[in-house]
Amino acid sequence: MTNFSKKKIRSLMSKVLAGLSDQLVEAESTSVCEKVLNLPEWKKSKNICLFMNMPKMEIRTHDLVNEALKQGKNVFLPRCEGRHTMSMYQVYNTNHLIKNQWQIPEPDGSSPKVMDDETFCDLIIMPGVAFDSNLARLGHGRGFYDDFVHRYKAWCFQKPSRCDIFKVGICLSKQVLPNGQIPMSPLDEFLDLLVTPQNIYKRP
């Protein structure tokens, strides 16, 4: 995939992921979940932004979300509220989520959300189409997560008592590309850490 555009990488990655068996996706999702649960950043976090996975071609997160709730974490899930904007709403279980246009379960928007009053988030678990060990991330193209992180950083800047959000990407093994193959613009957010079925990549 050397020197391909973001659009081309997304197209190629879609074909790769479509060919993965359910058994492989489930096994790799379990491995990643176990690694995430053992991260120091997870253990010390109180407010976590997570995501519910797409029906196909994405790491499965249902167990991770439920474990966070079981551990007493304050869990926030994304709700799309515009072409390029999403908000993170608190959830108390996964039984009353509503499927959006991509068939992804999301909150109904009636609960507290991150950046309302003093509602902060110290850890965000992020999806993506492709990643590399330099912590570059390629999303699905609408900029939801980059926009959210930018807005959250600006909000935090006004509240020096709140630490910056720690960004963790999670993915399947086939989603990790060689370094330098993901085009990154000044608006694209690098991760702080990437968890794959085989490895954990951190900033030097």
What are the tokens at 28?
């790799």
Judge whether 52 is annotated as a binding position.
yes
Judge whether 10 is annotated as a binding position.
yes
Query: Is residue 75 within 8 Å of residue 91, measured between CB atoms?
Result: yes
Judge whether 139 is annotated as a binding position.
yes
Could you tell me which of 195, 194, 168 has the C-alpha nearest to residue 34? 195
Could you tell me which of 97, 119, 117 has the C-alpha nearest to residue 108? 97
Judge whether 143 is annotated as a binding position.
yes
CA separation for the pair 202, 191 (Å, rounded) = 9
Judge whether 162 is annotated as a binding position.
no
Judge whether 144 is annotated as a binding position.
yes
Judge whether 203 is annotated as a binding position.
no
Give the C-alpha distances (Å, rounded to integers) separating 13 from 19, 58, 61, 200.
10, 11, 20, 21
Judge whether 128 is annotated as a binding position.
no
Judge whether 6 is annotated as a binding position.
yes
Query: Is residue 199 within 8 Å of residue 193, measured between CB atoms?
Result: no
Specify binding-site residues for substrate.
52, 58
- Residues in the annotated binding site: 6-10, 52, 58, 137-145
Please state the residue numbers annotated as binding site for ATP. Answer: 6-10, 137-145
